[in-house]
Structure 1
Amino acid sequence: MSRRFVVIDFETTGNSAAKGDRIIQIGAVVVEAGKITDRFSTFVQPGVPIPPFIEQLTGIKDEMVSDAPLFEEVAPKLLQMLEGAYFVAHNVMFDYSFLQGELDRCGYSPLSMPLIDTVELSRMLLLGADGYQLGMLAEYLGLEHENPHQADSDADVTAKLLMHLLDKLEGLPLLTLERLTPFLKKLQSSIEDIVSDMIAEKSAFLADEDTFDFYRKLALRKTKLASKKEQDGYISSHEEIESLDLQNDLKNHMAHYEVRESQQKMVQLVEEALNTNQHLVVEAGTGVGKSLGYLIPGVRFAKEQDRPLVVSTHTVQLQQQLLERDVPLLKKIMPFDFTATVLKGRNHYLCLRKFEHTLQDHHDDNYDMNFTKAQMIIWLTETELGDVEELSMASGGKLFWNTVKSDANSCLNHRCPWFSRCYYHKQRRAAHESDIVITNHALLFTDLKSDSQLLPGYKEAVLDEAHHIEDVVSDHYGKETDYFAFLKLLDRLSTTESDGMINTLAEMVDLLEVKDHEKHLSGWDRTFADVKNELDEMFKRIKSICLTKAKKSRSAELTKLTTRYTKDDVQSAAWEPVLEMGERARHFINDLTKPVKRLLKSVQNHEEHLTFKQKGFLVDLEGLLDDLQDESSELQHLLSCPLSQEVYWLEAESKGPRHAVKLHAKPVEIDQLLADDFFAKKNSVIMTSATMSVKNKFSYMMERLGLLDFGPINAQLPSPFEYEKQAKLMIPTDIPLINEVDQKTFVNRISSSLYDIAKVTKGRMLVLFTSYEMLRETHSAFKNLMKQEEFVLIAQGVDSGSRARLTKNFQRFDNSILFGTNSFWEGIDIPGDDLSCLVIIRLPFTPPDQPVMEAKSEKLKAAGGNPFYDLSLPQAIIRFKQGFGRLVRSSRDKGAVFVFDRRMIETRYGKSFVQSLPKLPVSIKPVEELVEELEEWMD
């Protein structure tokens, strides 16, 4: 059946027809049988002035619409086009509701027609897109978009996008379309009938069994993982490996490749460390090319020794970069083949068993859950890894992910019919067969403390982004819990919920006629209520303690309260009722889980009568009970403060729920732990980062990580960039220190200074903060300074989206300014003209009352050290160097770094920050003079 789709785009004077906003331009494109068959566009006389912002956004001015027809005059033509058609738009409810409002104003009856939202369909079908704005999708699909934000151009691009989406939908396997059908009813887009016709047409065709694996009513993308045994052409001769002409091969395969002495030196150092069983600490400045600097000798060594090299990074982005950019390049230049596999923590991977079960129940789904299931059914036809990083999910989708992700406590292993196709186990098998295993620090140290071996046996490792190791290890050996961690687990058991797991178990027991099952669950509901009551009262009491302690300190004024507690505190009278309630809660949890486990065993004795779904349910229930017991053990640990080498603290929102408080514990130092459990057991560990040294020495990092006794090789490899020509450091003398004025005055001063700089740089600025609160206030103050929409402001925590998405948006727009904190100090790469100026608002010192910092400082002081010079300052310098490194990313970049913190020039320690940077010109003047100098320099 042939359908007509009319793709509509309106440019308007604002967001609401009801509030007097009007249409100023109409673009309409008709699509039939996969082709564009008609177009219509016109300006419209709105009868009201076009606001300056709309004029700047669209380029449409009052004089362009002054002689245009009124909406009443073009409405008949538009309605004629729409008759019997689907109404299609990018964000359909905006255009459809605007049209309804305008028709109502002109005396027409309301429209009633099927709608299609190309945003919704794109999110479902185009999983690899970086974002779903029309311009981003046009770029992703290679569609020409001549005049963004003009209705004719936008409608044309949306029509082409629609055709692509319908083609993609039609190209899905029959089984996938059938599986999608139940989830289409709740979508905004009316595509049920379209998919139904596609199913009818497809039933005559043969399934594509070369591309897809059809199993248990799901279509999966077929994957073939190469193993070592399948590789050919391995050159084992050391001489042949040595003869590799690195420079020539890199020049042939890389655009803009430049010979880098530092990279060659790094290759030699890594080779020496691996071959002599030594550890290596190497600081490789920006632009050295450290990934290839360790991968080239690492791959050689792995092949020669026939054992894997583990490469660990801190960020997912670097893992993907290694696999997608560096490994393919190496495969071209190495004289032998090799395998490389990325392995992440199992919570990154989809559990097909759990997902299959959720598809059988879709009656109570909300929109997000319904949409995410549809999205994932399509994703299965594309993904080879089953890795959640490939999906772009709304917050409701992320909640759904928690119910279908892979989990050790609920894995059936070999008993699961999905085992041979399990994404996590496939990746583990591939990793155990690989020469290079790319993982992350979190999994590396989870493996270190795990009873079961997650990574293949290895003796050599590379730790990239190694300045994060201390924090990651501290996190992994730490503990935390709160009321909601218990509530999440208990709610899944509850008999008051229709889908509560205990209810499902009781139904199974009745069905199987298990004897004496009533006595197992006798009084269970009462115990369940007792557990919740004890935990509720206990966490309320703990929050009260947290608030009382905070009132005695300056943190009482903050919304987020943090307060340490010690062994002495928990032995005080105030904590006595907390400990009693904690002990009762522990006993109640035991009383809750033991009878259910006994009943589980009884049911499992009837295994021959159980379906696969029932067996899976029992494993999930057993895993949930284990999780509850684990949470209970964590709570007991946190309440008893058993370890002198740990720091304990409470965190609460002052205005949050009465029981909303979190308990934390972390080791104060991890040096001995790493020395004994990691470095002593490995032949060679290479640690590298652009920021490993403080004042050109490695002693701080080596001491923190427990490396001093091993006498590692260490080296500083300078960046090949010419910082003296490419960068300037500018420090204003007239911006107040934050403790000299109130925060509002400080924010207004830095906002006006940022505005003056931005006018010279035409935006293209990254502003780094040390607190979200100041970022939000500065963003708001800057906005008030702008004339119309002079700059595009993108702010972390204000604008939604991941770091990668915010960075991409920043690069897409001219005159854009990116406000970031925390994660934006490192790991973002904005080369070229997109970034010309970096502003560091304050030197990045960790607050001295941060619990772990405070505990480390106390320990240092007790040992005769100086907490500021031995701990706070080195940490801040490393962080500062990371922030500085965002500016110059290639030999063609040029830009200025402003530091709005006079401590850099007025304190004894300030020069340490300057000394930590590459040699570059430094200007110290009032803001006005620096702006003039910047303008001359940039010209």
Structure 2
Amino acid sequence: MSDRSFAVVDLETTGTQRHAGNKIIQFGCALIEDNQIIEHISITINPERSVPREVLALTGIREASLKTAPTFDEVAPALHQLLIDKIFIAHNVNFDLPFLNEAFENVGLEAIDPIALDTVELAQIMLPQAASYRLKDLSTFLNIVHKHPHQADSDAIATAKIFLLLLKQIEQLPRPVLQQMVQLSRYLSRQTGEVFEQALRQKATQELPSYLQQVGEFVLRCSRSDDSSTIIHANDHYPISDADKRQQFGQKIKPRATQFAMMDFIHQYQDQGEPNKLVIEAPTGVGKSLGYLLPLSYTLTGANRRRLVVTTSTTVLQTQLFRQAVPLLNHLRDLNFKVALLKSASHYLDFDRLAAYLRHGAKNRGTAINEMRIIIWLTQTQTGDLDELQITNYETEFFQSINHLPTLVPSSRYYQVDFWHKIVSDAANAQIVITNNAYLAQHIKDFTPEQNVLVIDEAQHFAEDLTHSSHGYFSVMRLHNRLNQIIELIRSLQDNYDAEPALERIQPDLLSCQLLLTETIKRTHDLNDQILLLAQQNFIRETVYLQTEDFLHHQTGLLRALNHVISNLDRYLDAVESLEATIGQEELRPNSSQKVMELIFHNNKLEQLQTHLLEAVDHLQDREFKQYGFYLDLDDDGINYELNWLAKSHEALRQAIDKQFPLQVYTGASLAVGRDFSYFLNQLDLKPEQVHSLRLNSPFLYQEKAELLLPQETYSPSENGADYDNWIVNTILPVLKQTDRQTLILFNSLASIKNVYVRLQQVLGFKREVMAQGITGSNDKIAKRFRLAKDAILLGSQSFWEGIDFPGEQLSLLIITRIPFESPKNPTTHYRSSLLKAQNISPFTADTLPKAILKLKQGFGRLIRTETDRGIVLMLDERVINSSYAAQVQQAFPEKLPKLILPNQQLGHHIQDFFAD
């Protein structure tokens, strides 16, 4: 295809709806011949109608230049002649080509019908790890100069450069990969798939490059050879003095006195030969990751050769440590430590499940693109970690059908290259394992005796994460619905047997499965009755907390009903496993093949549901039964309910952790309320005399770098819902209009984010990029896009309160909508409150308030990340100054942080003046 002539087109229009009277205002085109851009064309066009101000602002086109420009009917013949014999390329071809054709037809010219290619789809396939496929972001990702986004000529040139790079990558694909691409490419838009067909026709050799290998039907990246070294170097003794540390840091890493203090504190206790728990509050700017990694690294290469496990609260923080902190450690130690990034199996790709989906899965444009990008990604990834793909939603049927189940099958042809198998093996031999709290809690018995040093990073979450790790649930109605869906699929396969011989041969197996499912459904009715009897209610309207005495009379009946359901599920799953193996050897028609894939998907889900039932039986029979809280809660749909269980204490798990890890280091930026660690220690049932604690001072001069602003006119944050969200919008919109600084807005509620996002997008979306958690992409994806932007607005909750690093001008304005009090409806909160009330202790004073203060402290920590940062916090919650606990809440902010209360209409002007200074 490289020998053809291409016209890469971009249009700017008065609006996106072509049937609503919208017109073209700019035509841009880059002409490609012999894989080179030979010419580019830019024409401004008079639309003969008014142009929305947001379009003018976005494109930078002046209204005066439009009035003097030629109309479309004047330029149309030349454009028609230019394009009619060329391959048409656009970044979203299904917008540009139809829009252009309608404009041609409106002036009496025939619509053109060229070969048309879409660079969005090609980029999605060939660049599977890109954070965004918008033209501006792709240009940045590929280091393409794109000076004037949203101007047709600049966009067309950028698109042409992207296309040439993608075309080169496609032409370099191995023949087996191209064959898979061609099989799937017929689902792509227009003739986009012809790029792969042409590349396959020109690919003569079958030979794979040395960095690739073929296993089964997949071409994979070869594993890197393990060149990790544990040879003891000259710098294998911890640098005791600050001068020694500065010499070791050299010129590349800035020495910090507070970081040195943290290192010395850990070094003091790490080799005493007795169990030690260290608690260190390390504010932003201390460099805590290196602060614990460097001193502990000497225990990894010393005589005892201990091994280190680092655990964090989220997988995002895991990745950050792996990609940023460990390379710095390797540089300082002049070593290459063996490091494993350990997550649960569901984060990884399963080759067998992917192969099954490629054979039987539903095919449409969306799934075909996903399958193609996975195939390309396999030639690139060393980890098989699906998070690399930065997908917005991993809960779709496609990704739930290809991710790894928590089992390894040695008989699989892919066993030796299985990503999950490899990561588990690597972790067993690694000097440093980086995992998360949930994995640590669930797999504490899997760590080796040598892995006996534990660091809990962002330790303020550790107690809560341990509690959540015990949380389990099942929904009888969800199980019932799943069983009915499976029966319908089996009946559908039974109905088609007369037209399809392969189905006729498996009719006895289908009938057997159907009968087993019917019996299981009956058993779910019995189980539902037992649960409602336990709750003493006919149906569930709100959360029902079950007391221990509720189980005394009904526990036997409940266990009997659970065991009957589990037993029936066992028989069905055994039968259907044999059925799936038989089907896999048959040639099926596309419709039947799709139903089989759906059946496999539902059976996998059914197996997961059965696991939850087994856990329930274990907990109900556990001698520590009274340590668990059981409650009934409404499902997300507000109709079905779930039976949940949650450990009221994590004493047994804490004992297992103490046994495995004699040395434990707890660190985070917000462990103390003011100067007091009591709340943190109480959460872990620790006494002050059981720990060695250190509280480091912040290295930042907040009195010179930042301000806390509060509006004079406020709205009670106790008022939830649309009214409060409208007040937020009305307060911050004038501020956001008056400043173009990168802005992070922190919420307590995803529902509030949605309400506020809609209004901000309507008013500001034409001028500034507005991103929102749960709406515009995955957390990791929008965080990366925010870092690349210049004047963006990000609305976030939950994980955006902490652990997200936006240094320098990546974040200048932080808006906090309210004090982050935890919902009293949260079951964990309920059990903590019950326990405190039983001891005549105020839950608000002892738990709710300090927890909110620490989270607010974390939120503020997003703003100033380096010594050169400057920024403003706009706090919208009046309770920071007008409440009986205001003085305690203000402990979340640095002591010397200037605080100002201003009339609402002056907030934007003041922020402008602050940054102007």
What is the TM-score of this pair, normalised by structure 1? Answer: 0.86
In 2, Cα distance between equivalents of 1:64 and 1:317 = 48
Match of 1:422 among 414, 418, 425: 418
Instruction: Specify whether residues 431 and 796 from structure 1 end up closer, same or farther in structure 2 by C-alpha distance, changes over 3 A only.
Output: closer
Equivalent residue number for residue 633 of structure 1: 614
Equivalent residue number for residue 315 of structure 1: 314
* 1:360 has 2:359 as partner: yes
In 2, Cα distance between equivalents of 1:298 and 1:434 = 15
* 1:296 has 2:289 as partner: no
Please tell me the residue identity of whatever aligns with 2:199: M
Please tell me the residue identity of whatever aligns with 2:328: L
- Match of 1:400, SS state, is helix
- Match of 1:644, SS state, is helix
Please tell me the residue identity of whatever aligns with 1:211: Y
In 2, Cα distance between equivalents of 1:41 and 1:351 = 48
Match of 1:643 among 596, 609, 625: 625
Instruction: Specify whether residues 24 and 391 from structure 1 end up closer, same or farther in structure 2 by C-alpha distance, changes over 3 A only.
Output: same
Residues 282 and 687 of structure 1 are in contact (CA less than 8 Å); yes or no, is this contact kept in structure 2?
yes
Equivalent residue number for residue 221 of structure 2: 221
Equivalent residue number for residue 811 of structure 2: 835
Deviations 1:302-336 (A, max 9, x none): 11122321111222232222222222222222144
Residues 770 and 842 of structure 1 are in contact (CA less than 8 Å); yes or no, is this contact kept in structure 2?
yes
- Match of 1:877, SS state, is helix
Instruction: Specify whether residues 598 and 835 from structure 1 end up closer, same or farther in structure 2 by C-alpha distance, changes over 3 A only.
Output: closer
**Structure 2: 5+ residue stretches without partners:** 588-596
Equivalent residue number for residue 590 of structure 2: none
Residues 691 and 881 of structure 1 are in contact (CA less than 8 Å); yes or no, is this contact kept in structure 2?
yes
Equivalent residue number for residue 755 of structure 2: 777
Deviations 1:190-241 (A, max 9, x none): 2444323322322247431x2111222421111124166xx36423886487
In 1, Cα distance between equivalents of 2:250 and 2:604 = 53
Equivalent residue number for residue 740 of structure 2: 762
In 1, Cα distance between equivalents of 2:198 and 2:580 = 45
Q: 1:680-759 to 2 correspondence within 5 Å? A: 680-708=659-687, 711-739=690-718, 745-759=723-737
In 2, Cα distance between equivalents of 1:177 and 1:456 = 47
**Length, aligned pairs only:** 893
Taking only aligned residues, the RMSD between alpha carbons, in angstroms, comes to 3.9
Match of 1:587 among 564, 577, 584: 564
Residues 766 and 835 of structure 1 are in contact (CA less than 8 Å); yes or no, is this contact kept in structure 2?
yes
Please tell me the residue identity of whatever aligns with 1:347: S
Offset of residue 736 of structure 1: 3.1
Please tell me the residue identity of whatever aligns with 2:219: A
Residues 550 and 563 of structure 1 are in contact (CA less than 8 Å); yes or no, is this contact kept in structure 2?
no
Offset of residue 126 of structure 1: 0.9
Residues 338 and 430 of structure 2 are in contact (CA less than 8 Å); yes or no, is this contact kept in structure 1?
yes
In 1, Cα distance between equivalents of 2:580 and 2:387 = 38
- Match of 1:49, SS state, is coil
Bigger mean CA offset, 135-144 vs 691-700? 691-700
- Match of 2:820, SS state, is coil
In 2, Cα distance between equivalents of 1:317 and 1:152 = 38
Residues 303 and 435 of structure 1 are in contact (CA less than 8 Å); yes or no, is this contact kept in structure 2?
no
In 1, Cα distance between equivalents of 2:577 and 2:208 = 41
Equivalent residue number for residue 412 of structure 1: 409
Q: 1:4-15 to 2 correspondence within 5 Å? A: 4-15=5-16
Residues 563 and 851 of structure 1 are in contact (CA less than 8 Å); yes or no, is this contact kept in structure 2?
no
Residues 311 and 440 of structure 2 are in contact (CA less than 8 Å); yes or no, is this contact kept in structure 1?
yes
Offset of residue 548 of structure 1: 8.2
Deviations 1:259-318 (A, max 9, x none): 311100111122223212411111100010001001111211111122321111222232
In 2, Cα distance between equivalents of 1:245 and 1:12 = 63
Deviations 1:109-153 (A, max 9, x none): 343333211111111111232211101111111111121111111
In 2, Cα distance between equivalents of 1:191 and 1:131 = 20
Equivalent residue number for residue 773 of structure 2: 796
In 1, Cα distance between equivalents of 2:42 and 2:576 = 70
Instruction: Specify whether residues 568 and 187 from structure 1 end up closer, same or farther in structure 2 by C-alpha distance, changes over 3 A only.
Output: farther
Offset of residue 865 of structure 1: 1.9
In 1, Cα distance between equivalents of 2:826 and 2:602 = 39
Residues 462 and 686 of structure 1 are in contact (CA less than 8 Å); yes or no, is this contact kept in structure 2?
yes
Please tell me the residue identity of whatever aligns with 2:470: Y
In 2, Cα distance between equivalents of 1:38 and 1:718 = 60
Q: 1:497-576 to 2 correspondence within 5 Å? A: 524-532=513-521, 535=524, 562-567=543-548
Residues 46 and 67 of structure 2 are in contact (CA less than 8 Å); yes or no, is this contact kept in structure 1?
yes
Please tell me the residue identity of whatever aligns with 1:477: S
In 1, Cα distance between equivalents of 2:766 and 2:604 = 54
Please tell me the residue identity of whatever aligns with 1:880: L
Instruction: Specify whether residues 679 and 486 from structure 1 end up closer, same or farther in structure 2 by C-alpha distance, changes over 3 A only.
Output: farther
Bigger mean CA offset, 769-778 vs 176-185? 769-778
**Structure 1: 5+ residue stretches without partners:** none
Bigger mean CA offset, 309-318 vs 455-464? 455-464
Residues 119 and 132 of structure 1 are in contact (CA less than 8 Å); yes or no, is this contact kept in structure 2?
yes
Bigger mean CA offset, 330-339 vs 533-542? 533-542
Residues 486 and 599 of structure 2 are in contact (CA less than 8 Å); yes or no, is this contact kept in structure 1?
no
Offset of residue 925 of structure 1: 2.9
Instruction: Specify whether residues 21 and 307 from structure 1 end up closer, same or farther in structure 2 by C-alpha distance, changes over 3 A only.
Output: same
- Match of 2:625, SS state, is coil
* 1:496 has 2:490 as partner: yes
Equivalent residue number for residue 907 of structure 1: 883
Offset of residue 882 of structure 1: 0.8
Bigger mean CA offset, 21-30 vs 325-334? 325-334
Deviations 1:688-731 (A, max 9, x none): 11111123121211221133287111111122111121122233
Q: 1:882-921 to 2 correspondence within 5 Å? A: 882-921=858-897
Equivalent residue number for residue 838 of structure 2: 862
- Match of 2:17, SS state, is coil
Please tell me the residue identity of whatever aligns with 1:263: Q
Offset of residue 535 of structure 1: 3.9
* 1:478 has 2:471 as partner: yes
Please tell me the residue identity of whatever aligns with 2:152: A
Residues 675 and 707 of structure 1 are in contact (CA less than 8 Å); yes or no, is this contact kept in structure 2?
no
Residues 569 and 610 of structure 2 are in contact (CA less than 8 Å); yes or no, is this contact kept in structure 1?
no
Instruction: Specify whether residues 82 and 261 from structure 1 end up closer, same or farther in structure 2 by C-alpha distance, changes over 3 A only.
Output: same
Bigger mean CA offset, 624-633 vs 868-877? 624-633
Offset of residue 637 of structure 1: 7.0
Residues 542 and 661 of structure 1 are in contact (CA less than 8 Å); yes or no, is this contact kept in structure 2?
no
* 1:347 has 2:346 as partner: yes
Equivalent residue number for residue 593 of structure 2: none
Q: 1:451-466 to 2 correspondence within 5 Å? A: 453=446, 457-466=450-459
Offset of residue 468 of structure 1: 1.4
Deviations 1:730-774 (A, max 9, x none): 3344313234x6855544443333234335543433222212333
Residues 838 and 887 of structure 1 are in contact (CA less than 8 Å); yes or no, is this contact kept in structure 2?
yes
Bigger mean CA offset, 315-324 vs 10-19? 315-324
Residues 219 and 381 of structure 1 are in contact (CA less than 8 Å); yes or no, is this contact kept in structure 2?
yes
Offset of residue 164 of structure 1: 0.6
Bigger mean CA offset, 321-330 vs 888-897? 321-330
Deviations 1:882-913 (A, max 9, x none): 11111111111112223222222233322112
* 1:679 has 2:658 as partner: yes
Offset of residue 815 of structure 1: 4.1
Match of 1:467 among 450, 457, 460: 460
Please tell me the residue identity of whatever aligns with 1:468: H
Instruction: Specify whether residues 733 and 647 from structure 1 end up closer, same or farther in structure 2 by C-alpha distance, changes over 3 A only.
Output: farther
In 1, Cα distance between equivalents of 2:491 and 2:186 = 25
What is the TM-score of this pair, normalised by structure 2? Answer: 0.88
Residues 58 and 150 of structure 2 are in contact (CA less than 8 Å); yes or no, is this contact kept in structure 1?
yes
